[in-house]
Amino acid sequence: MLRNIVYFFREAFKSMARNHLLSIATISTIAICILILGMSALLTMNTSNFLNNLESDVEIMAYLEQELDEEGIQELQEKLESWSGIEKVTFISREEALKEMQETLGKKNYDLESTLGKNPLPHAFEIKAVDPHDVPQLAVQIEKIHGVYKVNYGKGVVEQLFSTARWVRVVSVVFIVLLALGAVFLIATTIRLAIFARRKEIYLMKLIGSTDWFIRWPFFIEGVGLGALGSLVSIIILAVAYGSLLKRVDTILFMPLISGSDVLIHLYLSLFGAGAVLGIIGTAISINRFLDV
């Protein structure tokens, strides 16, 4: 058994060395495929992270009736905090709201309250949902509560945001799947050329009684090796390029870039594994379709 394993690996390495130009072409093809796949994955991850941040920022502003006293406000806050779909309820007094408006809209030496004569703003609750997608339904329920006269959460815009985010994620997954299929096709084609170059050798092995799997194993090892080498090259290029980008900027078009080492290492390991798996799949397709063994 051990002797056979050594033989399989030796034959795989001999084949790669003998057909070094074809091996280099295969490694380059896989490297390009995995590099494009990795770039697409990084783009998808960063876009998804940006959309998640946008979705998590969706909040409900519940404006309270003017005549509601402190006890009524406290009871209403406790009631909202008891709801299972609500994560956090923050009370914003009319004084705080006016101060924030002053900082946002007023000039430095301009007293907004003196101009208005009195504070017209109501007390309000800033409500954060456990699941941002539940915001529209929660807003409808909150607006029906006694003591709440108006609810605002960006109706229309929020629904459009969720719809856009969903389509972006679907399109990203479809694009990555198509790239993976393209990589399998290219790898299968290059492995098929390697098999075709060794067709006489394979024929002689069949004549002396070699089994199908005895012939197949070196090709599978070769496919895994070429896939792993190609993915390793692409990972090095991708890691250097993305690391250089992170050193220069941490946001692009207000989109924060993913920089966590755990996430990036997991991605690079996944790409390495993907290269090996694509090599296996490409080899299997080539052998099953183009080898009569």
Residues composing the chain: 293
Query: What is the pTM (predicted TM-score) of this model?
Result: 0.67
**Residue 94: CB atoms within 10 Å:** 16
**215-249: pLDDT as tens digits:** 778 878 888 888 888 889 999 999 999 888 888 77
Q: pLDDT (tens digit, 9 = 90+) per residue, 176-222?
A: 788 777 777 776 776 677 677 767 777 777 778 777 777 778 878 88
Q: Where are the domains of the chain?
A: 2-54+160-290, 59-152
- Helix, strand, coil in percent for the chain, rounding step 5: 70, 10, 20
Query: How confident is the model at residue 237, as a pLDDT?
Result: 93
The H-or-E segment that residue 256 falls in is: strand 255-256
Pairing of strands 251-252, 255-256: antiparallel
pLDDT at 283: 77
Which CATH number is correct for 59-152, 3.40.50.1860, 3.30.70.3040, 3.40.50.360, 3.30.70.120? Answer: 3.30.70.3040
